[in-house]
Amino acid sequence: MKKILLTAGALLAWTSCAVAGAGGQTVAIPVEDYKAILERLDTLQKRVDQMERAESPSGKATAAAMPSKLAKDVETIYDTLDKVETKTLKDRINLGAELRTRADFFKLKNDANFGGAGSVEHNDNHWTNRFRLNLDSEIRKNLLFTGRITAYKNFANSDNNAFANDSNAAHLPGDSGLKLDRAYVDWTPEGMPIPLALTFGRQPVSEGPPSELKENRLRQSTYPSLLFDGEADGVVATIGLERYLGWKNSGIRFAWHKAYQDTNTSVSYMDNAGGMYDDTNIYAMFFETEIPGVRDSLLVLSALQAADLVGDGTYVGGTGKADIGDMTLYGLHVQANNVVDSGFDLFFSSGLNKTDPSGNTVTDAYGRPTGLMNTGANTDEHSGWAIHTGLRYNIPYKPWNNPKVGFEYNHGSDNWFSFTWGSAELYNKLATRGDAYDFYYIQPFNENLFGRLGYTHIDYNYTNSGMHLGDFGDSIAELDNLYFLLDVRF
């Protein structure tokens, strides 16, 4: 720029000298030269105008004003960006993965209902690998897809599994087959008078709060795990309440899931009108919110009914299948992370269950009629309760990547039952009718890899933990489990 102006100035000076000369004398130059000088001046003036426009207050440099090399570089960058953007837009689904290797060393002190009389103590170890493929996509601004496919296997695939069903298909170790853990779409329709979202598909209803503390990750499920921890297909309608209540992340959910579907496809493609069993439908309502004034907290109030539960006699070593009645559950969950910046995460959950037996029964291993929490011909209603509480401390020690240490305790009464068959543990800890103590230490190695060392002790005061069939009995069973795991996520 400066160079151009200097050149222009020099030419002007020379021109004026040529015309006026020093001391009023006139210098004659050829007309061609004079015209050439004027043309040159005109060209330079245009160049200066162009550059001044480029440095206009808008500050936007134009490609024309750029040196040719810079302009070429910018073009190359745009071309690269176009390719990257096109590639990104073509990648409809984002992929992530998790791999966990876990070893459990357990000691089980049996009673008559665990392995039969005479079997007093059992020591063993159990190794598993769990691979998860996580998928997500923002199909449109208001249409989000999330999925997870899991292969959860025992080492050597040589262990039997009890209580395998659809709600723990991807949470019970087995062979190397892939299972659909979750696949759902969040749809937030536009133009609705109220903030409404519909979530349909195989729902995110396993490993819910407070499991994420122990799992060293963020919240992984809609419902608190004490009441519902498993895989389930269904539809959830959520109404956002934040704009009405002013409470952050507040909303009410109306959920419907199917826990059993009697489709007699040998007769017709549709549900057979004369089918043997009613479908099991789960209707639930959840209110949740961040507790006003408590940052990073969660309060959930739950009510859930499982209508027409189907009892399967094979679960109790017997035979038969029947609609055994209804179960109603109520729950409260309170959680606060990093309470007053102390590094402590705290939670408390409680649950209440109530049965309404139909009187239908299956047959247990001893040939006795067995109904909803009843053995024999009686049709008594029963109630149970449970609490689950604990804390996690985030140790502020950077050289060790801020390890975490946690403790959980849960207690279930004699008739406690909830839908927790999809537990991330090998044992259904939250179904315990008795006391469970759980200690763990989490050692992060980097952002993607952590290890966990844990010890769990369970005193089973009553039999039939996690089972809705048959009456309970007293139990002296105890479980001690020491485990470690390595978990990678990327």
Q: Counting contacts by CB under 8 A, is residue 188 touching another protein?
A: yes
Q: Which amino acid is at 410?
A: N
CA distance 468 to 309: 9
CA distance 346 to 334: 8
The one among 56, 80, 249, 378 contacting another protein by CB under 8 A = 249
218 binds another protein, rule: CB under 8 A: yes
Task: Determine, following the binding rule CB under 8 A, whether residue 242 of this chain makes contact with another protein.
Answer: yes
Which residue among 110, 128, 203, 432 contacts another protein (CB under 8 A)? 203
Judged by CB under 8 A, the residue of 100, 202, 214, 253 near another protein is 253
Does 197 bind another protein (CB under 8 A)? Our answer is: yes
* Maximum CA extent, the chain: 134
Q: Applying CB under 8 A, does 297 fall inside the site for another protein? A: no
Nearest approach, Cβ of residue 88 and another protein (Å) = 11
Nearer to another protein, 221 or 420 (CB): 221
343 binds another protein (CB under 8 A): yes
Q: How far apart are CA 215 and CA 458, in angstroms?
A: 20
Output the CA angle 427-428-430, nearest 5 degrees.
135
Q: Is 196 in the site for another protein (CB under 8 A)?
A: yes
Separation between Cα atoms, residue 36 and residue 58, nearest integer Å: 35
Provide the strand spans (E) within 358-462: 362-363, 369-371, 374-375, 383-394, 404-412, 434-444, 449-460
Whole-angstrom distance, CA of residue 489 vs CA of residue 88: 22
The minimum distance between CB 250 and another protein, in angstroms, equals: 8
Q: Is 220 in the site for another protein (CB under 8 A)?
A: yes
CB of 180 to another protein, least distance (A): 15
Q: Which amino acid makes up residue 61?
A: A
Residues 309-338 touching another protein, rule: CB under 8 A, are: none
CB-CB neighbours of 397 under 10 Å: 9
Q: Is 352 near another protein (CB under 8 A)?
A: no
Question: Based on CB atoms, which residue is closest to another protein, 22 or 218?
Answer: 218
Span interacting with another protein, options 47-55, 194-202, 321-329, 425-433, rule CB under 8 A: 194-202
Buried b (16+ CB within 10 A) or exposed e, 130-163: bbbebbeeeeeeeebbbbbbbbbbbeeeeeeeee
Interacting residue ranges for another protein, rule: CB under 8 A: 136, 144, 146, 182, 184, 186, 188, 195-197, 199, 203-204, 208, 217-222, 236, 238-240, 242-243, 249-251, 253, 288, 340-343, 396, 447, 489
